[in-house]
Amino acid sequence: MNRRDLVVRLLRLSACFPLPVVHAVGAFIGWLLSWIPNKPKRIAATNIARCLPEWNSAERDRLLRSNLAETGKVMLELGPLWLWDGQRVLGMIQSVTGEESWQAALRQGRGGIAITPHLGAWEVSGLYVSSRYPTTILYRPSRLGIDELICAGRERAGGHTVATDSAGVRALYKALQATEVLGILPDEDPDREAGIFAPFFGQPAHTMVLLSRLAMKYRCPVCLVFAERLPKGQGYRLRFDLLPNTVSEGSLEASVTTVNAAVEQAVRRRPEQYLWAYKRFKTQPRQV
């Protein structure tokens, strides 16, 4: 059995169980990760120390343990979130706050951009947005070769997925021209030519410029959408936070900085649910 088939089988297996069981098993996997040497633990510990130097070592250790438990939940909940009926997933959203401001901003008739960072259950955020608004979702093709499964999961509530290539970028511009909504992960490390450095937790983080260029060209509102994972598999709490106008009316540098500041603010609310195991600072400024 190749790696792709194994991943698909594991995703389908996890989708056979209710969310409380999925999250309990995921938390147990995270507990195991906290006790043995492994790459996710090492990366998460490095990022936490880098981004939260004001925390003492005991506080950072507690955060690391809880974060690995949440990371285990992320790994296992992808099966249900991609494979369950869309209405079943949406039915697990216990509350939604801030959407009225987002809707008011969309009434300007310029479309909008919903950013869903690697925080909480970003698949739930994307599914909710695409169920409520005509949405084009940007995604980076998977190295595991499971694009068909991922796209089907993200499109089942009405969204349309496009890859991070030239055709996908053109589709994003067309969607905003039609005053639709875009769904974008804002905190990935892009190719060097596709980003600039801006502060993130006081560190230079290589950040995509495509999001800011789209917002600035169409003067459209940008909103951060965060699906907080509730304890014991009780579901999710959704929050919409509009970004300041500098994201669409300032300079490119100011716009990118505004995006990173919004992501940082959201992460500080629930730091244990951020994907600290992602190599956010992999690309570094070139030495002069």
Q: pLDDT in tens for each of the 288 residues of the chain?
A: 788 888 889 999 999 999 999 999 999 999 999 999 999 999 999 999 999 999 999 999 999 999 999 999 999 999 999 999 999 999 999 999 999 999 999 999 999 999 999 999 999 999 999 999 999 999 998 888 888 999 999 999 999 999 989 999 999 999 999 999 999 999 999 998 999 999 999 999 999 999 999 999 999 999 999 999 999 999 999 999 999 999 999 899 999 999 999 999 999 999 999 999 999 999 998 876
Residue type, 201: F
| DSSP letter assigned to residue 166 | H
SS3 assignment, position 102? helix
H/E segment holding residue 231: none
H helix runs in the chain, sequence order: 3-14, 19-35, 39-51, 57-83, 86-90, 99-106, 122-132, 147-155, 166-177, 210-218, 246-249, 252-269
Question: Partners of 97 in the beta sheet?
Answer: 239
Question: What span, in angstroms and rounded, lies between the C-alpha atoms of 286 and 243?
Answer: 30
Question: DSSP label at 285?
Answer: P
Structure tokens at 203: 């560190």
The residues pairing with 195 across neighbouring beta strands, listed in sequence order, are 208
Write the burial class of residue 282 (CB in 10 Å: 0-12 exposed, 13-18 middle, 19+ buried): exposed
What is the widest separation between alpha-carbon atoms in the chain?
54
CB–CB of 229/168 below 8 Å? no
Task: Give the pLDDT confidence score for residue 4 in this predicted structure.
Answer: 86
DSSP 10-50: HHHHHTTS-HHHHHHHHHHHHHHHHHS--HHHHHHHHHHHH
Report d(CA 29, CA 199) in Å as an integer.
33
User: How many CA atoms lie less than 13 Å away from 170 in the CB half-sphere?
Assistant: 3
Model pLDDT, residue 143: 84
pLDDT given for residue 288 in this prediction: 62
Task: State the pLDDT at residue 250.
Answer: 82
- Would you say 11 and 142 are in contact if contact means Cβ atoms under 8 Å apart? no
To 5 degrees, how large is the angle CA 201–CA 205–CA 211?
Answer: 110
The closest of 111, 134, 115, 147 to 227, measured between CA atoms, is: 115
Q: Among 238, 231, 224, which residue's Cα sits nearest to residue 272?
A: 231
* Residue 32, amino acid: L
